Amino acid sequence: MLGGQGLEGLVCLGQGVGGTDRHRQGAGVQEPGEPLAYPTQGSYADPDAQVEAPTEYGWPHGMGEIITVLAEAGLRVEWLHEYPYVPWKMFPFCVAAPELGRSWWRLPDELHGKLPLIFSLRANLPPPASSVVEA
C-alpha cells in the first residue's frame, strides 16, 4: 500500500493567519464520522470555476487514526514522509513554490517548514508467520 493525504486537520490554521471564513468554519474537534462542510467556490484545479454544489464536504483523519487503522489491519508501515508543500493552494495565504515546479504551494516564509502539509506512507502486509523459513 502506498498512500498520501493532505493534512486537513490544519484547517484551524486559518485562524489569525489570514484565513477566510471557509477555513475558520472547520476549526475545532469533529466527532468521528462527522464531515466538515465548506461553502464551495471554484475547485482545486480552477479557483474561478463555476460549481453547482453549494457545499463541499471533507472527512478529516488524524495521523494517529490513520496509523492505528493500518496497524489494526495487520499492515507494517515501512516509511512515513511529511512535506512542507502541496500541489494545490490549501489556504488562501499559501504562496507559490516555483522552485518545486509548476503548481506547488507552501506556507509563507514565517511558517514554511514548521508544519507538514501533506504526507506519504508505504505499508505492506507481512507474510504469514507459517511461511517464514527459519535458517
36-87 pLDDT, tens digit each: 898 888 877 787 888 888 898 888 888 999 999 999 999 999 999 999 999 8
Query: Where along the chain do its domains lie?
Result: 2-27+61-131
Q: Own/partner pairs for 61-64, CB < 8 Å, 24+ apart?
A: 61/5, 61/8, 62/9, 63/7, 63/119
pLDDT-based confidence at residue 133 (cuts at 50, 70, 90): low
| CA dist., res. 22 & res. 32, Å (int) | 21
Q: Which is more confidently placed, 47 or 124?
A: 124
pTM over 0.75: no
pLDDT at 21 > cutoff 60: no
The angle subtended at Cα 23 by Cα 20 and Cα 29, nearest 5°, is 150
C-alpha cell at 58: 471533507
